[in-house]
Amino acid sequence: SDQRVYNFSAGPSMLPLSALERAGSEITNYRGSGMSVMEMSHRSKVFIQIFEETQEKLRRIMNVPQGYKILFLQTGASGQFSMIPLNLIGKTGKADYAVTGNFSNLAYKEAQKYGQIHLAASSEDRDHSYIPAQSQLKLDPEASYFYYCANNTIYGTEWQYVPDTGSVPLVCDMSSDILSMPVDVSKFGLIYAGAQKNMAPAGLTVVIIKEELAGHELPYTPLIMNYKTMIDKDSMYNTPPCWCIYMLGLTLDWVEENGGLAGMEKLKWQRANMLYDTLDNSKLFRCHGEKGSRSGMNVTFRTGSEELDAKFVSQAAQAGFVNLKGHRKTGGMRASIYNAMPVEGVEKLCDFIKAFDKAN
């Protein structure tokens, strides 16, 4: 059927329909070039224009200051778990990590290969259902950087503040909430995000780095994982993920047409609050994220009965709400409601939840 579903996948996930339609209309012949963006040399004039425009759009929308470089890499977000310590830990040999979920834990473990890693905060004691407060962060003033993950995709929590670490550079994994709110980039040393949630198809990793932090890599840092290589070559040391960069450009057009990051933030909490209210007011469902720490992007919830959870997921899918099954680590349900999820999709899901709550 050619009917699109409401896709609540955690990533890869929904992209704006207008971006997909635009890509579709240009897929065999990009604006008179006689070829698809997929078929173009990354050094061609027409692709360089796409590349530069996409960089400029992202700089404008995120208000990225001078002195910061935007990189389009292919490492996957997970590649950054290695690339960050390889490039940044050399300053003092030490780094602070906040572990608030699966991906920050993976980053924390990987970093231990490269230096002295200090656990600055952890939410493991309550199954990653909350974000530690600023006063709970145990900060080492000698850390080369402080690492955290802004939105915990699996557990459904999100930092509601930017940590204050004094002069220690902030490094942040924004894979699952980038472009969902305005961010003061000048507070960060490095921001990164895998593209496959709020930006583009999988295959692109965006890194925004304060340029002065690059160039101090450990001596055995692979060339391809050296930020300095990529800064000097403007992400074109090797072939960049051309198609994903083009798609990011189309997504950014949609973001701008919909009020930029302030517009995205408004829609984000409109969707999320509606869903949390519905779940909080139900008799069957409990949310995993504690109030004050809840994610505006990934809403995690369960009934307490695995059987009933499975029934919910399968009946929802039949009704056109797909990919609501929680991550295998947590069980239960997860509704990922990224930028491209229409408010209407969440409204209809809330109606479905209310009806299920009544009937069971």
- CB nearer to ligand PMP: give 158 or 309: 158
DSSP string over 133-179: -GGG----TT-S-EEEESEETTTTEE-SS----TTSPEEEE-TTTTT
Question: Is 238 labelled as part of a ligand binding site?
Answer: yes
Minimum distance, C-beta of residue 82 to ligand PMP, in the bound complex (Å): 11
Question: Is 9 labelled as part of a ligand binding site?
Answer: no
Q: How far is the C-alpha of 280 from the C-alpha of 13, rounded, in Å?
A: 25
Question: Is 173 labelled as part of a ligand binding site?
Answer: yes
CA atoms within 13 A on the CB side of 231: 16
Over its C-alpha atoms, the chain yields an Rg (Å, rounded) of 21
Question: Is 74 labelled as part of a ligand binding site?
Answer: no
Minimum distance, C-beta of residue 298 to ligand PMP, in the bound complex (Å): 8
Cα 94 to Cα 66, 215, 220, distances in angstroms: 28, 17, 17
- CB nearer to ligand PMP: give 74 or 92: 74
User: 151-152 and 146-149 as β-strands: parallel, antiparallel, unpaired?
Assistant: unpaired
| Among the listed residues 200, 211, 197, 267, the one whose alpha carbon sits nearest the alpha carbon of residue 57 | 200
Minimum distance, C-beta of residue 344 to ligand PMP, in the bound complex (Å): 25
- CB nearer to ligand PMP: give 33 or 105: 105
- CB nearer to ligand PMP: give 40 or 179: 179
Q: Could you tell me which residues come within 8 angstroms of residue 40 by beta carbon, excluding any fewer than 6 positions away?
A: 30, 33, 46, 47, 242
- CB nearer to ligand PMP: give 173 or 253: 173
User: What residue ranges bind ligand PMP (CB under 6 A)?
Assistant: 11, 76-78, 103, 149, 153, 173, 175-176, 194
SS3 117: strand
Minimum distance, C-beta of residue 29 to ligand PMP, in the bound complex (Å): 31
Question: Is 100 labelled as part of a ligand binding site?
Answer: no
The DSSP letter of residue 265 is: H
Minimum distance, C-beta of residue 79 to ligand PMP, in the bound complex (Å): 7
Angle of helix 242-257 versus helix 45-62 axis, rounded to 10:
40
- CB nearer to ligand PMP: give 177 or 217: 177
Question: Is 103 labelled as part of a ligand binding site?
Answer: yes
Minimum distance, C-beta of residue 112 to ligand PMP, in the bound complex (Å): 17
Question: Is 47 labelled as part of a ligand binding site?
Answer: no
Binding residues for L-glutamate: 43
Binding residues: 43, 77-78, 103, 153, 173, 196, 238-239
Binding residues for pyridoxal 5'-phosphate: 77-78, 103, 153, 173, 196, 238-239
